[in-house]
Each structure stands twice: as C-alpha cells, then as structure tokens.
Chains A and B, each alone.
Chain A
Amino acid sequence: MINAIILVFIGGALGALGREFLMLGVPDPSDGFPMPIFVANVVASFLLGLITGLHQRRAVTDDVNTLVGTGVMGGLSTFSSFVYGAVVVMGASATGMTVALAYLAASLLIGYAAVWTGYRLGLRGAA
C-alpha cells in the first residue's frame, strides 16, 4: 500500500486547486449567491458518493479511495467558506438574509441528493 500520507496530501492539493479554478471560472450571480462554492460542494458530494459506492463493491482499491475520496473530494469541497460566505452574504444587502438562507438550504438539499445519487450509481456499477 502506498503511504496514505502522500495520497491524502496530493489529493487534497489537487482538490483545493480545482476549487480555486472554480472560484475563478464560475461567475457570481448579481444577488450575491456564492455560486462557485456551491458548485464545488455539490460536485464533490456527487463524486464522493460515487467513489464510496465503487469502493464498497471493491471496484476501486483502498489507495484510490484514500486519494480521491479523502484527498481530492475533501480538498474540493469546503465547509469553512460555505458557512463564512453565508454569514457575509447575510449582512451584505437588504435581500442578503433571503439569499443566504436559500444558499444554505439549496447546498444541503442538492448536496444530499448529489451524494445519494453518486452512491447509488457507484454501487450499481452503472457509472
């Protein structure tokens, strides 16, 4: 088995870079909804579900699961920017509270649907 420390470090670095590029490439809507973080979190949830399902039926090795699941998806998704962004958006404008609550609710619901769908696909082997 490859040293897990190296796998987690390299995966986390790649994931964080992917999030950085999403922050640069995904446009922010005018109402302040933090779209880049939302996209990073939903995509990472789907892919983490997928790799977990694949790993559970032994379609990927432990090393791949550590590299991609623990490393890349942990690095791509973020909770700190998720909640801090919501706090900033809340106080930013008159409609900020509504936008922040919609952001929190959409992230939780769509993120959960994403991890659920990814996991099912991974278990079935349809992906």
Chain B
Amino acid sequence: MRPLDVMWVGLGGGAGSLLRWQIGRLVGERYHGGFPLGTFLINVSGAFVIGYLSVLFSVDWRDRFGAPLNAGVLTGVLGGYTTFSSMQLDALKLSNAQRATTAIAYLAGSVVAGLLAAAGGAGLARWQG
C-alpha cells in the first residue's frame, strides 16, 4: 500500500460517511415507523454496489490496493457509507424497547437482503460482461 492509497481511503471514507448521514436524515424525516429503515436501505444498497463494482473492476475483495478507484471507492466510500455498528445499535435499541422479535427480524433481514444484493450486483456486472 502506498501513501496515496491511504489518502484515497480517508477521503472516500469521509465522503461515504457524509452520504450515510444525509440519507439517514432524509429517510428519518419521511419515515416514522418502528423499523430502522434508513440503515437497512443504506446497507443493502451499499452491498449491491460493492458486488457490482468489485466484479466490474475485477478486484479480489481482499486485495484492493494499487488503484485509487479500489482504495477510494470500495474500501473508502462504500465502507464509510455502509455500517455494521449502527445496525447492531439499532437492534440493541429495539431490544431495549421490548421489541426483540423486530430486532432479530431486522438483523436477519439485513443480512439476507445484503447477501442477495451483493450477489445480485456481482451477477449484474458479470451479465453485462
């Protein structure tokens, strides 16, 4: 890894985090139900894009160094955009509000939808050739 990669990851991570924060606020203003919809939509959409771009860029998912696009977009933007810790915090809040069933459904639903989205994104990129 080169110093430039570090810079791209940082810039991408900052930009992705801002996008997550903005989308979270927009969803929060429009949706007032009891399901953590913002984080769910952010994570599933990010999973689709990472599957799509990883195949499009032909990158091994563990070895993303060398190209600004890989470091900046895959590790940076998408890593900053999606979040695992907020998903767990959402689940904890649901559980603390005596809504354990919703918490479990949220975690399981996020993972299943995320897996399908990542595989679907990769499949779309392969289909496009």
Q: What is the interface of chain A, defined by CB distance below 8 A to chain B?
A: 4-5, 8-17, 19-20, 23-24, 28, 34, 41, 44-45, 47-49, 52, 70-71, 73-88, 104, 107-108, 111-112, 114-116, 119
Contact = CB atoms under 8 A, between A and B. Distances in A.
Contacts of A5: 18
A86 B61 contact: no
Which of B10, B15, B71 is most buried by chain A, counting CB atoms within 10 A of its CB? B10
Given A23-B62, A78-B79, 6 more contacts: A9-B17, A13-B13, A16-B13, A76-B85, A84-B118, A116-B92
Contacts of A12: 13-18, 20, 80
Interface residues of B, number: 52
Contacts, number: 179
Contacts of B111: 83, 104, 108
B36 interface: no
Interface of B: 1, 5-6, 9-18, 20-21, 42-43, 46-47, 49-51, 54, 61-62, 71, 74-76, 78-89, 91-92, 107, 110-111, 114-115, 117-119, 122
